[in-house]
Structure 1
Amino acid sequence: MEANVDTKIETQDDMDEITSPFKNMWEILRRNKAAMIGLTIIILLILVALFGKYIMPYNPYQGELSQSLKPPSSEHILGTDEQGRDILSRIIDGTKISLRVGVTAVAIALSIGIVLGSLAGYYGGWVDMLIMRFMDIMLAFPSMLLAIAFMSALGRGIDNAIIAISIVTIPEYARIVRGSILSIKENEYVQAAKAIGNRDMAIIFKHIIPNVISPIIVRATLGVSTAILDTSALGFLGLGIQPPYAEWGSMLGAGRGYFYNAPYIVLFPGIAITITVLAFNLFGDGLRDALDPKLRK
């Protein structure tokens, strides 16, 4: 009986050790009001993206020219655009497009960046030089200019916008992963994994990556806001997602000619972009603090 009790106590202690860091992380994150505001907005945006079609007052792609450029009213809360389409409905529909591009582009860039950064940091030598010099070449160009070049080569559209944005952000994740691996690859647990015969890929993805995931998660969270902003910029320039898709940047670009007559056409999509980017930045900053071991007790 005593052995069973001791075993149960040890098991409970082990579980407490595992869950304690997550509890501490959540407590730090929960006390950060700005981060919780950002998280709340992100959750609302996700819900709007998933269930927006049930709350749209009008079809976002159908309009009447007789209703064009109507100011905000009880019939059209945010007014109508130059083709008589309801702006609120188009902003709601554009939420899923912006989140899709932002999250997918970051997921692709993160996956490739982890692989390249891991190979460069773990093996070093000519592998490191080859990979990182190529990353440096990409970083030498402004990301937006590079994205414009890729969009010009690939053509317009949602999928091409995702590809272009993901490519230009790969170097950021590769450098973060490489730097993190360089700082821990000589640790004892890594050397022990080598000594017992684990393969290099197993060491990298089972032992090293889980221990450097915190800065990667933080950067990915902040990267979503950057990807959404880049998508909007491409759409505004006419190189991104094209009409009739209700993408916020494209709405800004289409409405800029009516700025003096109907400023709400530009104002409300701009507010949507600002709130979304701000939400991800606030949550990313809070997550960075929560994942910082110096702040966890």
Structure 2
Amino acid sequence: MEYETSKEVSQNEKNKSNFSFFKNTFEIILKNKAATLGLCIILFLVLVSIFGKLIMPYNPYLGSLSDSLKPPSSSHWFGTDEQGRDILSRIIDGTRISLRVGIISVAIALSLGTIFGSLAGYYGGKIDLIVMRFMDMILAFPSLLLAIAFMSALGKGIDKAIIAISIVTIPEYARIVRGCILSVRDSEYVQAAKVIGNNDLAIIFKHILPNIMSPIIVRATLGVSTAILETSALGFLGLGVQPPYAEWGSMLGSGRGYFFNAPYLVWFPGIAITVTVLAFNLFGDGLRDALDPKFRK
């Protein structure tokens, strides 16, 4: 009974410590005006992606040729495209697609990168040599060119874009995780975990990773903006998300032919991409400062 009580008290103290940490982190972010602005924009985009169907003035996939290339007006705030579809509705729908591709691709790359980086950093030797040389091979190619190559091999579509962007960004997370594990692999708490009989997987995922998550979280936050930018680039080239889906990059690609007589076809998707990428970058920079021990002190 005493053991269980002591264990519960220890768990409660740990929960309070975690709550205090997150509360302090959130307070530091709120003091950073740029990070707060980025967070507000991200929350707004998330709400738009969730409730977008309720606020769309028109169906983003239906249009009338008689309404094609209409300039911004009270009936169509952002104008219409070459097929008479409402641009505002398509940008709202594109928010869901861009966030989906960005978040899912980062989640996949982060998971696989964490596994590869953990194995390489913890075991070292031949495993480290094989894993990291393979990662270096991927990093030797520009990420966008490699994504284009994968899209050419896999085909076009949302799922293919997620896979391609995930693969080209795995090495970034693997190198970060490996470097962090190398810095703490010989720490006292790791040695203590070995002494009390924890296996390697328990040491890596239960003791090491929770203590090195700060730089990984920051890189993942910034990685979402990179993934959205690469998704837009693939869509602009006609290799990413395909019509009739309203993806911002493909909207840019289809609207570039009308740049001189209907420039709003390019302006509004471009602004959406710029604001979204900027928001994640601002929030990522603020999160990095908030998780920096020197800054917190």
User: How big is each residue's C-alpha offset from its partner over 1:208-257, in whole Å with a ceiling of 9 and x where there is no partner?
Assistant: 00001000000000000000000000000001011000000000000000
In structure 2, C-alpha distance between the alignment counterparts of 1:291 and 1:102, rounded to whole Å: 23
1:242 partner letter: Q
1:1-297 mapped onto 2 (5 Å cutoff): 17-297=17-297
Offset at residue 282 of structure 1 (A): 0.4
In structure 2, C-alpha distance between the alignment counterparts of 1:218 and 1:111, rounded to whole Å: 15
Match in the other structure for 1:4: none
Q: Identical aligned pairs, as a percentage?
A: 76
| Structure 1 residues 17 and 94: CA distance shift in structure 2, 3 A | closer
In structure 2, C-alpha distance between the alignment counterparts of 1:25 and 1:59, rounded to whole Å: 41
| Structure 1 residues 182 and 13: CA distance shift in structure 2, 3 A | closer
Match in the other structure for 1:5: none
In structure 2, C-alpha distance between the alignment counterparts of 1:62 and 1:27, rounded to whole Å: 45
TM-score (normalised: structure 2):
0.95
Q: What secondary structure sits across from 1:245 in the alignment?
A: coil
Offset at residue 23 of structure 1 (A): 2.7
1:28 partner letter: I
CA contact (8 A) 1:21 1:296 kept: no
Q: What secondary structure sits across from 1:61 in the alignment?
A: coil
User: How big is each residue's C-alpha offset from its partner over 1:15-53, in whole Å with a ceiling of 9 and x where there is no partner?
Assistant: 654433323212211100100100000001000000000
| Structure 1 residues 55 and 17: CA distance shift in structure 2, 3 A | closer
Q: What secondary structure sits across from 1:261 in the alignment?
A: coil
4+ residue runs over 4 A deviation: 9-18
CA contact (8 A) 1:109 1:169 kept: yes
Offset at residue 13 of structure 1 (A): 7.3
Q: What secondary structure sits across from 1:89 in the alignment?
A: helix
RMSD (Å), alpha carbons: 1.5
Q: What secondary structure sits across from 1:246 in the alignment?
A: coil
Q: What secondary structure sits across from 2:151 in the alignment?
A: helix
In structure 1, C-alpha distance between the alignment counterparts of 2:157 and 2:11, rounded to whole Å: 54
Aligned length: 289
1:206 partner letter: K
2:257 partner letter: G
2:244 partner letter: P
In structure 1, C-alpha distance between the alignment counterparts of 2:28 and 2:193, rounded to whole Å: 33
| Structure 1 residues 108 and 11: CA distance shift in structure 2, 3 A | closer
Offset at residue 197 of structure 1 (A): 1.2
| Structure 1 residues 59 and 11: CA distance shift in structure 2, 3 A | closer
| Structure 1 residues 123 and 61: CA distance shift in structure 2, 3 A | same
Offset at residue 124 of structure 1 (A): 0.1
TM-score (normalised: structure 1):
0.95
